[in-house]
């Protein structure tokens, strides 16, 4: 077990008054803020690419057999967008700027945008993208450790939902095969 040093009240109060312009980022912030902001922006790009890909798949999934998949595509698109919002909000809290520039979006993202021609191809590509997101978010969580619990919790929440998404896509893929 690591020794946790508890700061006395006088020091806590004094420290909080220094650099108030940094808002939520206090003297005690233990993570490397620059790296955390980069990871958050890469993840934001990933979520935006996933939102766009699921939207495309939702509108392209037509026909009776595609209706269940289409419902999932739409739900996932909305949840990826909500993930993007949470990440953007955290970037601002940490004194950064969320990058929504469409230029270079796919390069900044971990997951890819694959349009897909058939329903099976779409579901397959969505599953691959989810698996990329799962691995990258798990690594980020491990990297953060105890240095930034708020950012870590955000990634933990998102990771849990990406695992649900992957499971949904795997089920549909199995049905289509
Ligand atoms: Fe997501
Ligand atoms: Fe997802």
Give tens-digit pLDDT for 89-109: 999 999 999 999 999 999 999
Tell me the ligand closest to 84's alpha carbon.
1
Written as six digits, the tokens of 100 are 């929504």
Q: Above 80 in pLDDT, residue 143?
A: yes
Tell me the ligand closest to 137's alpha carbon.
1
Would you call 123 helix, strand, or coil by DSSP?
helix
CA 37 to ligand 2 centroid distance, Å = 21
* pTM strictly above 0.85: yes
User: So what's the pLDDT on residue 66?
Assistant: 87
Give tens-digit pLDDT for 32-75: 999 999 999 999 999 999 999 999 999 999 776 788 899 999 99
User: So what's the pLDDT on residue 104?
Assistant: 96
CA 105 to ligand 2 centroid distance, Å = 17
Chain centroid to CA 79: 10
- Whether 15 maps to a domain, the answer reads no
Q: Above 70 in pLDDT, residue 28?
A: yes
Q: Domain with 105 in it: what CATH number?
A: 1.20.1260.10
- Whether 141 maps to a domain, the answer reads yes
- Whether 142 maps to a domain, the answer reads yes
- Whether 85 maps to a domain, the answer reads yes
User: So what's the pLDDT on residue 21?
Assistant: 87
- Whether 17 maps to a domain, the answer reads no
- Look at the alpha carbons of 34, 36, 41, 45 in this order and tell me if their dihedral is positive or negative: positive
The b/e string for 148-176 (b: 16+ C-beta within 10 A; e otherwise) is beebbebbeebbebbbebbebbbebbeeb
CA 18 to ligand 2 centroid distance, Å = 40
- Whether 19 maps to a domain, the answer reads no
Written as six digits, the tokens of 112 are 């890819």
Residue 115: give the domain boundaries. 36-176
CA 44 to ligand 1 centroid distance, Å = 9
- Whether 18 maps to a domain, the answer reads no
Number of domains, the chain: 1
For residue 109, report the phi and psi dihedrals to the nearest 5 degrees: -75, 150
User: So what's the pLDDT on residue 46?
Assistant: 97
**What percent of the chain clears pLDDT 90, i.e. is strictly above it?**
78
The residue count for the chain: 177
- Whether 12 maps to a domain, the answer reads no
């Amino acid at each position: 077990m690591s020794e946790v040093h508890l700061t006395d009240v006088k020091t806590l109060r004094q420290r909080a008054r220094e650099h108030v312009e940094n808002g939520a980022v206090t003297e005690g912030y233990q993570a490397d803020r620059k790296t955390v902001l980069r990871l958050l922006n890469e993840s934001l790009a990933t979520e935006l690419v996933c939102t766009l890909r699921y939207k495309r798949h939702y509108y392209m999934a037509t026909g009776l057999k595609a209706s269940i998949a289409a419902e999932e595509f739409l739900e996932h698109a909305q949840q990826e967008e909500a993930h993007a919002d949470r990440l953007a909000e955290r970037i601002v809290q940490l004194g950064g700027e969320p990058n929504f520039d469409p230029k270079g979006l796919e390069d900044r993202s971990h997951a890819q945008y694959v349009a897909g021609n058939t329903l099976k191809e779409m579901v397959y590509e969505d599953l691959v993208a989810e698996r990329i997101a799962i691995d990258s978010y798990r690594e980020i969580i491990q990297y953060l450790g105890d240095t930034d619990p708020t950012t870590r919790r955000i990634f933990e929440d998102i990771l849990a939902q990406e695992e649900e998404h992957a499971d949904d896509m795997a089920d549909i893929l199995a049905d289509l095969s």
